[in-house]
Chains A and B, each alone.
Chain A
Amino acid sequence: MYLDRFVNGTGQYIDDLKFPNMLYMSVVRSPYAHARIKTVSGGLNALEIKGFYNMKNDDNAEPIFAIDEVRYVGQPVAAVFSENRYESEDLIEGVDVDYEPINDAVTTIEASLKSKPIFGLKNNILSTTETGKTFDESEVKYDIKVKDTIDIGRVLANPMETRGIIADYRNGVLHIYVSSQSIHRLKNYFVKSLSQFGISEKNIVVHHVDTGGAFGLKAAMYPEYIAACYASMKYKKPVKWIETRTEHINSAHGGRGIRADITVYAKNDGEITGLDGDVYIDNGAYYVDTASDDLGNVIHLMTGPYKIEKAHLYGHYVLTNKSLNGWYRGAGKPEAGIVMERMIDLLADKLNMDMAEIRLKNAIDAPFKSPLGLEFKTPAKSLLEDALKYFDYEKKAKEKNVGIALFMLDQDAAPGETCRLIVKGGIIHVYFGGDVHGQGHELFARSILNKELGVEEDKVILELPDTEILKEGVGTWGSRSAIIHGSALIKAAELLRKDAIKKFGKYDKDILLNNEFDELYYYKVDYNEYTPNFNMVTSDPHDPDSIKIYSYYDIGKKLNEKNIMGQIEGGAIQAISEVLCETIRYSEDGQVLTTNITDSGLLTADKIPEFHTKLVENPSGFTDMAKGVAESPSTGIPIALARSIEVQLKTRINKFPIDRLELFNRVL
């Protein structure tokens, strides 16, 4: 089992794999946020590979290696190779790049909006989208309107294992081993990005390896991956690239990075009647497909658990001289919740209403089609009432150190997931379409098959799939792992049972394990599940040990309680650092000021909060009845913690991270 493998140090992460004659790749990167490249000589560079990797070939796609211009610090310009890891880094010095710096870099949304056009467009907005219907103020009944700008800084995934890949072109087939959340999603990218080099779908196989954390980062495509593949085909040798942490901080795609200018319309009794405004995403220097998910989630989910009749939002993709936008735990969902809840607290303060009362007033109490286009089947009001009562909000609120959060967790169930079960040698080998990177899929795989098929848990092994053994698959992200893999597994187990009965006239576990079977099931789902959830936080902003997290989460059905608690505790510490100190910092001219993983703002073991958790089980409509959890702490805790600090400091909090060193005794 993975737990045994990992505690013994026998996991096989990407950097643990070694192939004969393997080359190490090191990347020459731009030291400038914006510069023209006059000449480049040495290494593998754009003189040889003049192509793009992100499936879009227009002026704002990012090239694999910079062509004539660099737009951010850390952008790949060339790559060098050696059989010796140290020597490949030495070779970086041998690549000569003649830059002509352009001193016009923009590193914030504000600066980009104010700047002259610098990306070859009429302004620095790459494109604009919208949700809901525009409305005129005269169409809304309101007594009061409140406006604010909420800023949420860039946060980088920073998994403990950085990005890494081995491309191995052998016998006409390109085998790609990659630290990943979805080998199938990546294969799709590889097929499209590598066709320009004359290799087709049937000759590309992507292999999952033990993956040391991802948080959204490892479901996306990167130029270094394509460079490694090209080099392997060129040199006819395996090529390994392992990102250094410094490269990660400079170049890996960063999540969050949102500015929202929002207006909320309401009546004096607290009823919200309308919401509109503009949301801007820090897109980074080139087009990137992840940004449409991040921004899309913000502008679709914002009204969340509230019965707001009219809403309209513009979403703008703003180009900046930074590494590109990427996914980070929640990918726009926490941002939507944070913006809405910061506005509702502002409204409550203006109306002198209690923060729970105003939420109860507006929470949906029946299925509701939101004006931003989503259908919420599960009402939020009763859960809010239950949670407030369970944690005795009324009494705690008197301490004036409480913040609360109500939000809809959007679980990315669609389009479903695959599961293949191969029974051989007395073992059930499980292959999932979504690739585990810390969620413990193997735990529920074992318990579910024990329950469904009566086999001992140690007869079940979760295998690392490749795109041959499992031709189709979706991925592990979006609070979907337990719900969608568990359900696919139950269905595949049903097929096994039926097959055994068909072949042997009856089912028992010995018949199953003493014979060979092979079943594949694609559990198809055409909707996402939306579940209301609640957090409360109390704190003393001057005491580092004071943070208490209260979570009231509807998880449908507990598949493995310790595993669920681990997701909540892990999400909590990320949430706390996002509120207090975590971001990637840039100078005005685009230099990355964050120099290492500690500087990024990750918290250490002495900063953990106290937990009070209530897991509610209202079964979902999925076969295993589970609901998601992993993105709930990322959404609810920042909201409630920010409010808890705000009520005590009596200073409006509309910027994340808050970044005030006096908070929590300067220890952070």
Chain B
Amino acid sequence: MMVNIRVNGKQYKKDIEPRLLLVNFLRDELNLTGTHIGCDTSNCGACTVLMDGKSVKSCTVLAMQANNHEITTIEHEDPELDAIKDAYVEEQGLQCGFCTPGMIIESFYLLKNAGDKEVDDDYIKKNLRGNLCRCTGYRSIIDSIKKANKNIKEREEIHVSR
């Protein structure tokens, strides 16, 4: 079947098998291999992407369900996403790196949707429960997200003052 899926701002029209999972569409059809497969059972979150701005586990979404929707992956170019990536590097919020793209996309999501809530340990922990990491013990990931939040906020303030 034909699908039209917008990925990271670019429109893709592809003829796919109805059973094709979104994660395989991204990895195999579009060669966007930053999104990883950790468990196939929507437990680990390594495959987390955004669909119309909402975080989903792409190993349990069919590509055809994404037809006419917009997907955001780790390969997306965005200053806020870059700020999060920088914070992960500075805080060493990763070791083997396999869960990292999913973690960063989830971080992007939870920072964007914090609203009036304070981005503290509790808020981050609660919103990160769908993403497993076997290496870091999460401490450095939480610190990375806090740092990213601070950096993004500071940059926004600079923009406003200008």
B131 proximity list for chain A (CB < 8 A): 604-605
A25-33, A158-166, A281-289, A304-312: which lies at the B interface? A158-166
Q: Are B95 and A440 in contact (CB under 8 A)?
A: yes
A38-46, A200-208, A379-387, A568-576: which lies at the B interface? A568-576
Chain B residues touching A, range: 35 or more
B39-47, B111-119, B149-157: which lies at the A interface? B39-47
Quick check: is B92 within 8 A (CB to CB) of the other chain? Answer: yes
Chain A residues touching B, range: 35 or more
Q: Assess A9 versus B33: contact at CB under 8 Å? Given A85-B24, A160-B38.
A: yes
Q: Are B92 and A563 in contact (CB under 8 A)?
A: yes
Of chain B, the residue at the smallest CB distance from A87 is B17
Q: Are B73 and A7 in contact (CB under 8 A)?
A: no
Quick check: is B66 within 8 A (CB to CB) of the other chain? Answer: no
Quick check: is A10 within 8 A (CB to CB) of the other chain? Answer: yes
Quick check: is A467 within 8 A (CB to CB) of the other chain? Answer: no
Q: Inter-chain contact count A-B, CB under 8 Å?
A: 173
How many angstroms from the CA of A210 to the CA of B138 in the assembled complex? 21
Quick check: is B35 within 8 A (CB to CB) of the other chain? Answer: yes
B126 proximity list for chain A (CB < 8 A): 606
How many angstroms from the CA of A159 to the CA of B38 in the assembled complex? 9
Quick check: is A175 within 8 A (CB to CB) of the other chain? Answer: no
Of chain B, the residue at the smallest CB distance from A5 is B97
A106-114, A211-219, A316-324: which lies at the B interface? A211-219
Q: Assess A245 versus B39: contact at CB under 8 Å? Given A9-B33, A9-B74, A86-B17.
A: yes
How many angstroms from the CA of A569 to the CA of B36 in the assembled complex? 24
Return B48 CB to nearest CB of chain A, in Å.
12
Quick check: is B5 within 8 A (CB to CB) of the other chain? Answer: no
Tell me which residues from 21 to 56 in chain B have a Cβ below 8 Å from any Cβ of chain A: 24, 27-28, 32-41, 43-44, 46
Q: Are A160 and B101 in contact (CB under 8 A)?
A: no
Instruction: Name the contact of A9 in the complex, choosing from B20, B73, B124, B128 (C-beta under 8 A).
Output: B73
A16 proximity list for chain B (CB < 8 A): 27, 33
Tell me which residues from 69 to 109 in chain B have a Cβ below 8 Å from any Cβ of chain A: 73-75, 85, 88-89, 91-92, 94-101, 104
How many angstroms from the CA of A595 to the CA of B41 in the assembled complex? 9
How many angstroms from the CA of A597 to the CA of B59 in the assembled complex? 14
Quick check: is A602 within 8 A (CB to CB) of the other chain? Answer: yes
How many angstroms from the CA of A440 to the CA of B95 in the assembled complex? 7
A5 proximity list for chain B (CB < 8 A): 97
Quick check: is B19 within 8 A (CB to CB) of the other chain? Answer: yes
A602 proximity list for chain B (CB < 8 A): 132, 134
Of chain B, the residue at the smallest CB distance from A245 is B39
How many angstroms from the CA of A86 to the CA of B25 in the assembled complex? 12
Quick check: is A197 within 8 A (CB to CB) of the other chain? Answer: no
Q: Are B92 and A159 in contact (CB under 8 A)?
A: no
How does the 8 Å CB contact mask read for B116-143 relative to A, with 1 for contact and 0 for none? 0000000011101111111111111110
List 15 additional A-B contacts (Cβ < 8 Å) besides A8-B75, A159-B98, A598-B132: A4-B89, A8-B34, A8-B85, A160-B36, A160-B38, A160-B44, A160-B134, A212-B98, A438-B97, A562-B92, A573-B138, A597-B44, A597-B132, A605-B128, A608-B137
Closest 5 CB pairs of A and B: A9-B34, A212-B98, A6-B97, A438-B96, A569-B137
* Chain A interfacial positions (CB closer than 8 Å to B): 2-13, 15-16, 85-86, 158-162, 210-215, 242, 244-246, 437-440, 562-563, 565-566, 568-574, 595-598, 602, 604-606, 608, 611
Query: Can you identify 17 A-B contacts, CB atoms within 8 angstroms?
Result: A2-B97, A6-B94, A7-B89, A161-B96, A244-B40, A245-B41, A437-B96, A438-B95, A440-B95, A562-B140, A570-B137, A572-B137, A604-B129, A604-B130, A604-B131, A605-B124, A605-B142
